[in-house]
Homo-oligomer: A and B are copies of this chain.
Amino acid sequence: MYVIGTGPGDPRHLTLFARNVLASAEVVFGYGPYLDRIASLLGSAEVRPSRMTREVERVTRAVETALSGRVTAIVSGGDPGIYAMAGLVFEVCKQRKITTVAAGTEAAAADALPVAVIPGVPALSAGAARLGAPLMHDFAAISLSDLLTPWETIEKRIEAAAEADFVIVLYNPKSKRRSWQLHAACTLIARHRSPETPVGIVANAMRENETVTLTSLQELPDAPVDMQTTVFIGNSGSFQLDGFLVTPRGYGNKYDLGE
Using a CB–CB distance below 8 Å, which chain A residues touch chain B?
5, 7, 10-17, 19-20, 56, 60, 79-84, 86-96, 99-102, 112, 115, 117-122, 125-126, 128-130, 132-143, 147-150, 153-154, 156-157, 159-161, 163-166, 212, 241-244, 246-252, 254-259
Give, as a whole number of angstroms, the nearest-CB distance from A12 to chain B.
4
CA distance A15 to B147 in the complex (A): 33
Distance in angstroms from A74 CB to nearest chain B CB is 12
Q: B249–A148 contact, CB under 8 A?
A: yes
Q: Which residues of B contact A130 (CB under 8 A)?
A: 102, 117
Contact in complex: A120, B112 (CB < 8 Å) = no
A-B contact pairs, 21 of them (CB 8 A): A5-B125, A15-B15, A56-B257, A80-B129, A81-B125, A81-B128, A87-B248, A90-B246, A96-B257, A100-B242, A100-B244, A102-B244, A117-B130, A117-B133, A120-B121, A139-B141, A140-B161, A150-B251, A157-B166, A159-B164, A161-B164
List residues of chain B with CB within 8 A of the CB of A99.
242
Q: For the complex, give the distance between the alpha carbons of A119 and B156 in Å.
A: 31
The answer to whether B132 touches A256 (Cβ under 8 A) is: no
A121 touches B15 (CB 8 A): yes
Q: What's the minimum C-beta distance from A259 to chain B, rounded to whole angstroms? A: 7
Q: Are A89 and B12 in contact, with the CB atoms below 8 A?
A: no
Q: With both chains docked as a complex, state the minimum distance between the C-beta of A188 and any C-beta of chain B, in angstroms.
A: 12
The residue from B16, B92, B251 contacting A16, defined by CB atoms under 8 A apart: B16
| Nearest-Cβ distance from residue A22 to partner chain B, whole angstroms | 13
